[in-house]
Chains A and B, each alone.
Chain A
Amino acid sequence: MSFLEIKGLEKGFGKVEALRSLDMSVTKGEIYGFLGPNGAGKTTTLRIIMGLIGAERGTIRLKGKDISFDDRGKIGYLPERLSLYGRMTVDENMNFFCKLKGCKKTEPERIAKEFELYDILDRKVETLSKGVRQKLGLGQALIGDPHLLVLDEPTSGLDPAVRRWVKDKMLDLKSRGKTILFSSHVLGEVQEICDRVGIISNGRMLTEDRIDELTDKLRLEDRLILTIEHVHEALRLVRSIRKANRPRIENGNIVFYCDKKNKVDILKKIIASDHEVLDIIIDEPDLEEIFVKLTEETI
């Protein structure tokens, strides 16, 4: 049985149909990546789950029962546009949110320690960097020890180190038994830490699958661009490698496509040859590509 089950969700904003009969099911204890381009309807879906806006049609069930006001109070939420109270300190913000949830007085301290905020409790939030604020935002979502976390683009706009930190934290939370539903418009973010993904485009769920099955099914190829000596001879070499697909010369570089798992083998062969490789660019499959593929499939 799924932990969070959404069926036939519909929502419009005037003429914009933001969600068109969207289904989703999140299993207990997993990290679910909710993937889609900007404007697809991710934020709208998550807001409806949190009861921040109403849907025109559809059901949301949590643990088999229609979701209630009380249930929502127990879900941890991180909005896409996180905004805390800038003129108040980290400590005051934490205490404020704790009191609203009716938590123990020791809760802010516990969370501050876990989220590396302990040394900056007296700093005003407006003086903090985006990364630290995001940590505080995540800490805020964990107030009251919720079982389900709903995080809207938790890694977007962060520098790589903080992004890494957030992803590790999500894995850590999963290992502690939490269920995490998070959205992203970047495939790479989702691939790394998700158990399952749901792909949304134009308010419709295109597919919902385990991440490994999805990559297989879509046969997603990386695009490699090599700057190399003696391009024309090198091209012949690349052509002789069976798993390197559609090799050609573009702007004096060699371009070819290959399956993710064959990438390293192919590169080894090329580097081992006499042609000196000056630069390698690896282009991960574009999310747009996936959407196009999936949309073609569903039509």
Chain B
Amino acid sequence: MNLSSYKLIFSKEMWKRIMCLAEKEFKNYLRNGWILILVVVFVLMSLMISFYGASGYEGEHWHNLEQAIVYMVGYMEFMAPILGIVFGYSSIVSERESGSLELLSSYPLDKGEIIAGKFLGLWSLLAMIIGVGLGVGGAILSTLVSEMVWSEYYLFVFGSIMLGGVYLSLSMMISTIFKTSNSAVSASVFILFLFNILWFFIMYSVAETTFGWESMIEGVSPPTWYFSIQFFNPVIIWYTLLALNLPTLRQSAMELGGQEVEVYPEMYQTWSMIIILIIWISIPLLISEYRIRKMDLN
């Protein structure tokens, strides 16, 4: 790294501009009526799910933290990506459509600052919303269950904010690629569909045509490459991060085309999962920066 780029990273002016962009993004989205409705719905649903999750549905699971967390994980598996997509898909393309991106680009800003500012602003908004929704949910849980394990719950909240961040970053990237909001939202939803639903079938076919799905169920550890492929799905990474730390989830770990935690290879660690999520956030942002630099403004 040469001296000038070193200076660039630590320039106070640059961070001021990024924060200014982030603040604008935060404010502008918070004033969007649709976003507000979504937030209210999200908080209410978190409330309901934590309440009914803790109550259990078969009578025998009354006031069960484990059961509640399993429900909430299943819920956030879709909710965190949806929030990320809602904040991300139009972030660039709508400014391009309206023309404000042209004005913004005429300012003495690095293109990376625009991406960084937008991402930070939207991610903090997303974190705040997830924090409020799951915070209220957590408070309700703690009154219902006999023993609240807050450390598990915090990790769950943190993981969900990270997963939301991955989808935010992915849909921001999509927002720099497509020319209309409509195509950007479709592409983002396709990614959600791919990672959350199609993936299971893909991995099943891969397993079946190579070492055989049956053998895995019988407890034979699949080859390492099979686990490596899973790195290409941020939802699996998120799920693994939680499964490694929340004993309850382990029993239902078979879900996402996953395996018993007992057969996880060495590389599946809490820290490595966090690093992979960070990589999943960073790469789409770098691509966005490249795309916005190459963009024609029409």
Chain A contacts to B: CB under 8 angstroms: 13, 47, 50-53, 69-70, 72-75, 77, 79, 81-85, 87-88, 92, 96-97, 99-102, 140
Contact = CB atoms under 8 A, between A and B. Distances in A.
Instruction: Name the 4 nearest CB pairs between A and B, nearest first.
Output: A73-B108, A83-B99, A81-B99, A83-B100
B297 A87 contact: no
Contact of A69 (B95, B103, B108): B108
A79 B99 contact: yes
Nearest to B96: A83
Interface in B224-238: none
Interface in B246-298: 296-297
A99 B21 CA distance: 9
Contact of A100 (B28, B31, B109): B109
24 contacts: A47-B102, A53-B297, A69-B108, A74-B108, A77-B103, A77-B106, A79-B102, A79-B103, A79-B106, A81-B99, A82-B103, A83-B100, A83-B102, A84-B103, A85-B24, A85-B28, A88-B24, A88-B31, A92-B24, A96-B20, A100-B108, A101-B107, A101-B108, A102-B17
Contacts, number: 68
Given A50-B106, A79-B99, 14 more contacts: A47-B102, A47-B297, A51-B106, A70-B108, A82-B99, A83-B99, A83-B100, A83-B103, A87-B27, A88-B31, A96-B20, A96-B24, A102-B13, A102-B17
A69 B105 CA distance: 11
Nearest to B108: A73
B20 A52 contact: no
Which of B13, B32, B103 is packed against the most chain A CB atoms within 10 Å?
B103
A87 B28 contact: yes
A99 B109 CA distance: 11
Contacts of B296: 13, 53
Contacts of B108: 69-70, 72-74, 100-101
B98 interface: yes
B20 A100 contact: yes
B16 interface: yes
Interface string B104-118: 011111000000000
B32 A87 contact: yes
Contacts of A87: 27-28, 31-32
Contacts of A84: 100, 103
A160 B207 CA distance: 72
A99 B24 CA distance: 11
B173 to A, nearest CB: 21
Interface in B8-41: 13, 16-17, 20-21, 24, 27-28, 31-32
Nearest to A144: B108
Nearest to A150: B106
B100 A85 contact: yes
A99 B17 contact: yes
Contacts of A47: 102, 297
Contacts of B98: 83
A52 B99 contact: no
B32 A52 contact: no
Nearest to B293: A54
Contact of B107 (A82, A85, A88, A100): A100
Contacts of A53: 296-297
A87 B28 CA distance: 6
A123 to B, nearest CB: 14
A81 B98 CA distance: 8
B107 A97 contact: yes
A120 B249 CA distance: 56
A47 B100 CA distance: 14
Contacts of A73: 107-108
A81 B296 CA distance: 15
A88 B106 contact: no
Given A81-B102, A87-B32, A52 B107 contact: no
Given A73-B108, A88-B28, A100 B103 contact: no
A52 B297 contact: yes
Interface string B91-135: 000010011101101111100000000000000000000000000
